[in-house]
Amino acid sequence: MQNNSHAKEGNKCRVKKTSLSQELSKYLAALRPWSFTSSFTPVALGSALAYMEHAEFSLLISLVTCLTALSVHAAGNLVNTYVDYVRGIDTKKKKDANHKTLVDSVLMPGDIAWLGGLSYVLGCCGFLLLAYISPARMEHLALIYFGGLSGSFLYTGGLGLKYVALGDVVVFLTFGPLTVVFAFLSQTGELSNEPIFYAIPLAISAEAVLHCNNTRHMESDTDAGIVTLAILLGHTGSYILFVMLLFLPYIAFVYLGLHYSKCLYIGTKTLTKHSQQDPSKG
């Protein structure tokens, strides 16, 4: 009898652990962590530039900067999911819905709103900690931080810049110059134009991802009354722009390598990788 009771208790514990992990995985998926490289990479670049230009690098500052950027990024993703659902843009009838967390009732709208608010709070806590440990002036950090925070919210919330063909501008600035300069400033305490030039390839790559996604959803976005750059350009124009966005970063790498650092030529190595890829494998 004791063995049976112990077995039942063990099974209950396993069920609880499984259900807890399943719940956590739902919330984690709602954050869209696969997109976080768009925030992590510019933070890493800004930190590397700080070390290259001023021989200054603090691992703690870099980690806090990364946490702050990822928190705001996650919050922006959640606002996007929430607003697209509330506005009726993502529905069960739409087979190519961008985000199915709410459409498939994986989580409720209240859960997404709560998680989004928590992400913004974490981002602000990271900013306050950064303002304390960074050599940068608080007003400079605040200007860039709240600029990025505003962009993450206004992309779909409030003004809904995504819906009036301005989402591309927000993504280009946020995942390029803003985040790179923010990371550089956090490390060095100095504002500089130079990180902006290094950020251009990253900004173009981030825009390429967004433009590709918008091109795939042209028909459904048109039906929903959304205006995107892809819709304005049409299929042919969007394809041409996408090809340009794919290759412009390499041109930028070559230019920056010639005028600043030969290390940037490393970025062109991915061209060889793409050329050797088997088309049948995608």
Report pTM: 0.85
Q: Domain containing 226: what range?
A: 35-266
The per-residue pLDDT for range 85-103, each reduced to its tens digit, is 888 887 766 665 566 777 7
What burial class does residue 207 get, using C-beta atoms within 10 Å of its C-beta: 0-12 exposed, 13-18 middle, 19+ buried?
A: buried
CATH code for the domain in which residue 242 is found: 1.10.357.140
**pLDDT value, residue 258:** 80
Q: Which residues contact residue 142 at a Cβ distance below 8 angstroms, ignoring those fewer than 6 apart?
A: 127, 131
Q: Bin 158: left if φ > 0, else alpha if -120 < ψ < 50, else beta.
A: left
3-state secondary structure of 136: coil
Q: What percentage of residues in the chain have a pLDDT greater than 90?
A: 57
Give the 3-state secondary structure of residue 164: strand
- Identify the top-confidence range among 13-17, 66-70, 153-157, 242-246: 66-70
Query: What pLDDT, on the 0 to 100 scale, is given for residue 123?
Result: 97
Are 187 and 50 in contact by the 8 Å Cβ rule? The answer is yes
In-domain check, residue 213: yes
Residue tagged 């500089």 (tokens): 192
- As given in the structure block, the two tokens for residue 70 are 């990822």
Kindly state the average pLDDT of the residues 139-167. Answer: 94
The count of structural domains within the chain is 1
**pLDDT mean over 145-158:** 94
Which residue type is seen at 247? Answer: F
Looking at the chain, the number of H-run helices and the number of E-run strands are 11, 0
Give me the pLDDT at residue 280, please.
41
146, amino acid identity: F
* Helices 2-30, 59-86: inter-axial angle, 10-degree rounding: 80
Q: How far apart are CA 89 and CA 119, in angstroms?
A: 23
Confidence of residue 71 (pLDDT cuts 50, 70, 90): very high
Q: Does residue 223 lie in a domain region?
A: yes
In a domain, 211, yes or no: yes
pLDDT of residue 277: 47
For the segment 220-244, the average pLDDT, to the nearest whole number, is: 91
pLDDT at 24: 85
Q: Is residue 178 part of a domain?
A: yes
pLDDT above 70 covers a percentage of the chain that reads: 84
Look at residue 279 and tell me whether its pLDDT is greater than 70: no
Radius of gyration over alpha carbons of the chain, in Å? Answer: 22
- SS3 for 227? strand
| Mean pLDDT, rounded, for 255-270 | 72
Of 22, 23, 1, nearest to 9 by C-alpha is 1
Is 274 inside any structural domain? no
Is pLDDT larger for residue 55 or for residue 94?
Answer: 55
Tokens representing 240 are 């041409």
Position 94 scores a pLDDT of 60
Answer yes or no: is 135 within a domain. yes
- Residue 277 placed within a domain: no
Lowest mean pLDDT among 95-109, 122-136, 144-158, 182-196: 95-109
Residue 210 has pLDDT above 90, yes or no: yes
Mean pLDDT of 109-119: 94
Asked if residue 150 is part of any domain, the answer here is yes
Q: Say if CB 149 and CB 123 are below 8 A apart.
A: yes
Chain mean position to CA 116: 14
Q: What is the pLDDT of residue 272?
A: 65
